[in-house]
Amino acid sequence: MSRTRGGGRHLDEDDIRVRARGGSRPRTSKRPKHENAREGMVTAVDRGRYRCLVDRVPVVAMKARELGRGSIVVGDRVDLVGDLSGRPDTLARVVRVRERGSILRRTADDTDPVERVIVANADQLAIVCALADPAPQPRFVDRCLVAAYDAGLEPLLCLTKADLASPDEMLGVYEPLGLPYEVLGPNQDLSGLRARLAGRTTVFVGSSGVGKSTLVNRLVPSAERAVGHVNAVTGRGRHTSTSASALEFDGGWLIDTPGVRSFGLAHIDPDDIVAGFHDLDEFAVDCPPECTHQEDAPGCAISAALERGEVDTDRVASLRRLLSSREGEDDTEPAAPADPRS
């Protein structure tokens, strides 16, 4: 799932510069730098400190100065040197960031002025949406789907609070997309979901109150303790960061994203969304340049195929909805104050 389709996208400063290594012998007799470095996975980032797992030992590290401004995010595979004992008050150093297999990012929007990489190397995006309380937010789901397609992650729809409302309407909306989904009640057996998560790296996203963290805590009960004690005054865990954190799960990873409640999508190329619809993409190649593929787009080949009955009406409607979800304000976030535990 490389991010190089389309002949290479623009790299920004958040993209890690991949250093050439291996392949050819060093030209001098000097040994390659940090050849004794060990590989770790970044599991959390908190104020310039990186929590990494190195051979199952949790290690805290800082970034080596030579790495410059490029960001290191949860999910990154990194090379570390220094004290890797994991003992209290020790600090290792991240000296290299390995090439990323996938990048989940958000562009600048009203809630955050800076484009950011959220998670690296994930392969699945679990979109958590409540069936009631709060009411389902298809627009939020659409935006997550677009972000998933853009990042090359496979979406997984998790419909929670199934004890409060029927999933039929939401499933009807997403049926044309053929999404994998799980319908979940509070006491429901999670074996179906567990099977979908095993061996994969899954990012969980969801807006306030949908039960995302509750779900993650049910899947990894030890996670609650890892988050730290909740401060009675602030209601926040002492070690709760607003950035993502990764938890080991059955040969894979679950990555919770407490601070991510929306995706800015301005960076996304509409062609990348259409590319996710193989049945429609073959017609889109005949569209005029810059075609919006919407109903009013002049000369749109998808519209023509629809008129000839060669494509599915619901699929076209879904594509158009996703394309238009890139535009305008992200109004999906409920006005209620963000609850870090939800």
Binding stretches for Zn ion (CB under 5 A): 287, 291, 293, 300, 302
The distance of closest approach from Cβ of residue 304 to Zn ion in the complex, given in angstroms and rounded to an integer, is 9
Cβ contacts of residue 18 below 8 Å, gap of 6+?
97, 98, 99
Instruction: List C-alpha distances in Å: 270 to 119, 310, 334.
Output: 22, 22, 27
Q: Cβ closer to Zn ion: 260 or 291?
A: 291
Residues 91-125 as b or e (16 or more Cβ within 10 Å = b): ebbbbbbbebbbbbbbeebeeeeebbbbbbbbbbb
Q: Cβ closer to Zn ion: 188 or 292?
A: 292
DSSP 3-state assignment of 264?
coil
Sequence-ordered strand ranges (E) for the chain: 38-46, 49-54, 57-63, 77-82, 92-97, 103-106, 116-120, 124-130, 154-160, 181-183, 201-206, 245-249, 252-256
The distance of closest approach from Cβ of residue 150 to Zn ion in the complex, given in angstroms and rounded to an integer, is 19
Q: Is the peptide bond before 337 cis (omega within 30 degrees of 0)?
A: no
* Gap between the Cα atoms of 259 and 339, Å rounded: 10
Q: Cβ closer to Zn ion: 26 or 299?
A: 299
Q: Cβ closer to Zn ion: 212 or 293?
A: 293
Instruction: List C-alpha distances in Å: 28 to 20, 23, 32, 240.
Output: 16, 15, 9, 47
Confirm if 272 and 150 have CB atoms less than 8 A apart: yes
Structure tokens at 267: 């960076």
* Gap between the Cα atoms of 133 and 301, Å rounded: 41
Q: Cβ closer to Zn ion: 304 or 338?
A: 304
The distance of closest approach from Cβ of residue 265 to Zn ion in the complex, given in angstroms and rounded to an integer, is 19
- Identify the CA nearest to 101 among candidates 248, 312, 239, 253: 253
The distance of closest approach from Cβ of residue 138 to Zn ion in the complex, given in angstroms and rounded to an integer, is 23
The distance of closest approach from Cβ of residue 297 to Zn ion in the complex, given in angstroms and rounded to an integer, is 5
* Gap between the Cα atoms of 118 and 73, Å rounded: 7
Q: Cβ closer to Zn ion: 260 or 302?
A: 302
Q: Cβ closer to Zn ion: 262 or 303?
A: 303
Q: Cβ closer to Zn ion: 146 or 300?
A: 300
